[in-house]
Structure 1
Amino acid sequence: MLTVEQLRKKITADEIDTVVLAFTDMQGRLQGKLCHGQFFLDSMLDEGAEGCNYLLAVDTEMNTPGGYAISSWDSGYGDMSFAMDLNTIRLMPHNPGQVMIQCDLTGHDGELIPMSPRAMLRRQLDHAREMGYQMLTGTELEFCVYNTSYESAWDANYQNLEPANKYNVDYNILGSQRVEPLIREIRNSMYDAGMTVESAKGECNLGQHEIAFRFDEGLVTADNHVVYKLASKQIAHQQGKSITFMAKPNQREGSSCHIHMSLRGLNGELSFWDQERGKRSVTYDRFIAGVLNGMRELSIFYAPTINSYKRFTKGSFAPTAVAWGIDNRSCAVRLVGTGHSARMENRLPGGDVNPYLALSAMLASGLYGIEHELELEPMMEGNAYESGAQIVPATMREARDLLASSQLARELFGSDVVEHYLHYADVELEAFEAAVTDWELRRGFERL
């Protein structure tokens, strides 16, 4: 990351000419402005920037549906301020001459807008600190690569795209290196953008891959996640390819975003492990119990699209059972590591997840488990798919209704935030239920 003074020197020396001010919207996308470097120094660094508050009230296609309390014609579609986090100034090496600064969103009163995803995570991280904890987390994000440009994919109505691998390349070095020119550029660019890159590997679906990054503090991990997602698409575009982070882009294996999380004391003390007894701590068990307790009701924050729920099928390595197990990939929560590496893995989210929302839900419900001393249910042994355990919602409609009736969600996030994301779900459901799909055409055009 760059300091303000380092950025000033690079702009003055004509090494940087563009400053991107970006915030994360409900869908987990970076939105904002590209600013001329010298104008940024002369005016925007001190005076700030604004954007229309409809940006927190749009659907995936940037339509502006009614019904949001935050933004409407009745309220005049006013502005919100981009509050720059000057700890996030980073080079964007794949776009020479460019840096990005990530922003919070504030109203005219200077207060954070509560339904902004970054503000939601900040609130939960503050709560954790008040309880004496810091959160460490990492997101493992999978994607599918196609040898088809985004423009050509659009023109083809996303049908018959050419995957970068023709067969399952899970852990396969030959298959991974077939795509290495792209994957290598993403890895190296993200390293130069301030991320700690660990490794890359092939996955099961055709053209499916994963790049892993080292865990970090919660806000840093979420910020890195959305920058990486944007940059990956931009680099793919530069190479005439396309990448999708859809949870279920076809009938084969879906793309996951497993989230690893642990708590530490404010000075780095272990919270999830009892060193003297050599086993999990009571705090850890209560945190797991809290996450499981809130998983169904908060599933909109883990699985935010219609497509998200297509992943949840038996035997797919995507979870269906709300259960926990030690190194058991059939459970929604998998425990791994001991001592300093002890952590829980939430296997529910897919590649389409908004990391701020998922981390907020996971941390909030886990802290609730600690505060209310929830007792951890017995460990799942064997195949959780066939266990008879409670299951995750099968559709967005079910997830929406669970959120609507959840007192837990209102206690954790506030009714204004819950109502905002309920309306988000309603908008998606209404659009989907009105659409005529290619599935319907193939089944009914001639035969019905």
Structure 2
Amino acid sequence: MTHPRSERMLTVDQLRAGVADESIETVVVAFTDMQGRLQGKYLHAAYFVEHALGHGVEGCNYLLAVDTEMNTVDGYAISSWEAGYGDMEFTLDLDTIRWVPWLERTVMIQCDLALTDGSPVPMSPRSMLAAQVERAAGHGWSAVAGTELEFVVYRDSFEEAWTKGYTGLTPANQYNVDYSIVGSGRVEPLLRRIRADMWRAGMTVESAKGECNFGQHEIGFLFDDVVTTCDNHSVYKTGAKMIAADLGQSLTFMAKPNEREGNSCHIHLSLRGLDGSTVFWADGERTPLYDHFIAGVLATMREFTLFYAPNINSYKRFAQGSFAPTAVAWGQDNRTCSVRTVGEGSSARMENRVPGGDCNPYLAVAAMMAGGLHGIENELELEPMMTGNAYESDAPLVPHTLREARDLFAASEVAREAFGQDVVDHYVNMADVEITAFDAAVTDWELRRGFERL
């Protein structure tokens, strides 16, 4: 069953009462941008209740048309110098009011984005996921998901890391701490603070564990409906960075911060009936519906990789024997495949192992749902299960570069049918912007390799 709304989330009446007794002084209104980051405003709480609560908040529409460094760039139909960089509305989702425990007397409300005429902004990641949720509901299904997000912790502050050019940093652990109680214990002051604050922010925290890279850890959360999971994911990712900064440390969700193991974001997803009933399993085995769904995700995996791996750096993670997949294949409890099936009965679900820690959760989950629904609607046949080491198989490969993923997405008829022509063009331009910026950069690798020896 999907989970009821957390009792630790706030109602509008509780928000008003908190403002009245001054236990709430600040309201953050935020949405998730193309890069998966929370963007928005800090509003004085009294002003919010008196003025913004009934009318919403506005912001520049360039927020969905910038690169990672917040530079305005060409090529976006939604926003440009020629169009005058107008406003869009932050539509408050009043079911998302939560405490922000890492900030004093602060709550947050997450938002959808609308044009000034009130119509949804189709390129907004949250709107894109909502469209796939609505599509599934039209068939009588809901969707639940959980994300497993890894990060690497450093003893250096974010400011120190910047000053050092992000080189020579001291990882919180200096050896492989995968499942190590000692290794996690060394970082527990940070991990405990993150877990406790995320619980107070309305999430259901499961556990923390060490991972393979030096200083790498993962904190897991209980699955929920897909929009709630992605909302929580965005808040968690932002909060973890702010908590680390408060403790004089830094952490990164980059897909590949160094030559060791990368940061993954494994996504577990299943469909349910609208009443919460199991539809992926019956009579002790997978249902045809489940098989079609997996087949659709696999059929669109290469075309949709742009939403699983959206950055230049994302593709450094796909390496042989790295626990990051290279083969487009599925297997039962097989971690060498891009799709791993897990569980039985009501716990039956598919795990997509392609996304990295840098993915935008709304886009990645929307892509999984769009691919899976494409498989169901067209009754795609599921290929035979992969057994053994998928790294050594002849299965098709995940795209090797952002440029390859961009071209596959641009040519995808399934993407245009699922997301719309304007949305596809928008995200193709996002990839073009990143590729152009990287092609113009002189990297430290080039300098070390060529400064003296060439």
With the length of structure 1 as denominator, give the TM-score of the two structures. Answer: 0.99
Letter of the structure 1 residue corresponding to residue 327 of structure 2: A
**C-alpha distance in 2 between matches for 1:221 and 1:46:** 26
**C-alpha distance in 1 between matches for 2:14 and 2:120:** 28
Post-superposition shift, 1:316? Answer: 0.4
Letter of the structure 2 residue corresponding to residue 368 of structure 1: H
2:115 matches 1:107: yes
Identify the residue that residue 336 of structure 1 maps to in structure 2: 342
- What is the Cα-based RMSD across aligned positions, in Å? 0.4
Letter of the structure 1 residue corresponding to residue 173 of structure 2: N
Post-superposition shift, 1:124? Answer: 0.3
Identify the residue that residue 278 of structure 1 maps to in structure 2: 284
Q: 2:80 aligns with which of 63, 67, 72?
A: 72
**C-alpha distance in 2 between matches for 1:336 and 1:360:** 20
Identify the residue that residue 367 of structure 1 maps to in structure 2: 373
Letter of the structure 2 residue corresponding to residue 10 of structure 1: G
Identify the residue that residue 411 of structure 1 maps to in structure 2: 417
**C-alpha distance in 1 between matches for 2:230 and 2:276:** 20
Post-superposition shift, 1:66? Answer: 1.1
Identify the residue that residue 85 of structure 1 maps to in structure 2: 93
**C-alpha distance in 1 between matches for 2:178 and 2:142:** 34
Segments of 5+ residues of structure 1 without an aligned counterpart are none
Post-superposition shift, 1:108? Answer: 1.4
What do the CA deviations read for 1:89-144 (whole angstroms, capped 9, x no partner)? 00011112000000000001211100000000000000011111000100000000
Segments of 5+ residues of structure 2 without an aligned counterpart are 1-8
**C-alpha distance in 1 between matches for 2:117 and 2:343:** 45
With the length of structure 2 as denominator, give the TM-score of the two structures. Answer: 0.98
Equivalent residues in 2 for 1:84-233, closer than 5 Å = 84-233=92-241
Task: Report the more deviating stretch, 21-30 or 406-415.
Answer: 406-415
**C-alpha distance in 2 between matches for 1:55 and 1:108:** 15
**C-alpha distance in 1 between matches for 2:89 and 2:404:** 35
**C-alpha distance in 1 between matches for 2:102 and 2:446:** 41
2:395 matches 1:399: no
Q: 1:436 aligns with which of 422, 442, 445?
A: 442
Letter of the structure 2 residue corresponding to residue 402 of structure 1: L
Identify the residue that residue 296 of structure 2 maps to in structure 1: 290
Q: 2:332 aligns with which of 326, 332, 341?
A: 326
Letter of the structure 2 residue corresponding to residue 210 of structure 1: E
**C-alpha distance in 1 between matches for 2:67 and 2:20:** 39
**C-alpha distance in 2 between matches for 1:273 and 1:222:** 25
**C-alpha distance in 1 between matches for 2:301 and 2:444:** 32
What do the CA deviations read for 1:43-67 (whole angstroms, capped 9, x no partner)? 0001211000000000000000011
**What SS does structure 1 have at the residue aligned with 2:338?**
strand
Matched pairs, number: 446
